[in-house]
Chains A and B, each alone.
Chain A
């Protein structure tokens, strides 16, 4: 790694997001006390807030499927879990969502970075990016693409719906959502 790369990396870490902080505060108010997932740069503020908060049991996973299993186990044990991942990982974990969370009616709140849409140029994201909403629609699972809505209203209503239906819910965050 040359010095230039290092500067960029540090800049990402030091950047602050008021939106991510408000989201974290809402999670706490809604009882969230467990988090798992696989990192994506788009989600870095959210992950750091989990890391920095001793009231949330944060158990990072090696793969997105593992995070789904960890969240299910924590839920059985009385925890309220959030799982974070990139949408590429949503496809990797899709069977685990469909065959574990749905039939067991386990409400897990997913925060998913939405790559491969809009002006995205990374070739590896384009196919999953074009199919992300269709995947969730075909599973019959509720999702919202964040577009600057009021976070309080949005996340509170998503949690209410998730608890009422006993199904996982998905918040999709595009690059730059945190500004």
Chain B
């Protein structure tokens, strides 16, 4: 599976009502260029914090499903976050890690995800739903079958892929429309 295919499957399978928080580098840039939407927020700086931002949002809006699209190196940069997620048990949080075993947005320098056993770690710290997938069909099913979190999908992909995406630059405007999306879509929900 390639990064492009993994992102396509995730964005086509989750509900349009789900909020998406995507990590630094090519993952956010690809989602921004190909699947930009009010329900997305990108984390172009502060590498590692996508899962923390997703957790803060999931706790603040416990009836809104939050999908974090993380990378292996960015999760490893803020690995304590999985402990916080396991501790807080947000049922509405799905944490997907697109794992190419490298700092793919730099020069594909190796990360340590090959020995990290991320799927075992998240189970040990209390995630309720854990799947490891390496093709589009399994990724689609793992995403569809997610019901109660915290959930974790480790999506293994190949290195490489397109790099010439635009960057999200108007971050304040992205924030405003994201907050409006959250406000409107939680109307009438039990908060």
Chain A interface (Cβ < 8 Å from any Cβ of B): 34, 36, 57, 59, 61-63, 65-66, 68-79, 81, 95-96, 98-100, 103-106, 166
Contact = CB atoms under 8 A, between A and B. Distances in A.
A78 B54 contact: no
Contact of A59 (B56, B64, B178): B56
A112 B44 CA distance: 26
Given A62-B83, A65-B46, A78 B56 contact: no
A69 B53 contact: yes
B61 interface: yes
B84 A62 contact: yes
B188 interface: no
Given A59-B84, A59-B88, A76-B41, A65 B49 contact: yes
B48 A65 contact: yes
Interface in B85-134: 88
Q: Which 9 A-B pairs have the closest CB atoms?
A: A99-B45, A73-B56, A69-B52, A77-B60, A69-B49, A62-B80, A73-B57, A70-B56, A100-B46
A102 B111 CA distance: 29
Contact of B84 (A61, A74, A75): A61
Contacts of A99: 44-46
Interface in B49-82: 49-61, 64, 78, 80-81
Nearest to A62: B80
B26 interface: no
Contacts of A68: 46, 49, 52
Interface string B172-186: 101100110011000
A60 to B, nearest CB: 8
20 contacts: A59-B84, A61-B80, A62-B80, A62-B84, A63-B78, A65-B49, A69-B49, A69-B53, A69-B55, A69-B78, A70-B59, A72-B53, A73-B56, A73-B57, A77-B182, A78-B61, A95-B46, A96-B46, A99-B44, A104-B172
A174 B127 CA distance: 39
Nearest to A99: B45
Given A69-B52, A76-B57, A103 B80 contact: no
B80 A63 contact: yes
Nearest to A60: B84
A77 B57 contact: yes
B171 interface: yes
Contact of B179 (A34, A78, A95): A78
A100 B52 CA distance: 12
Contacts of B58: 73
Nearest to A101: B46
Nearest to B80: A62
A79 B59 CA distance: 10
A73 B21 contact: yes
B88 A74 contact: no
B139 interface: no
Contacts of B6: none
B7 interface: no
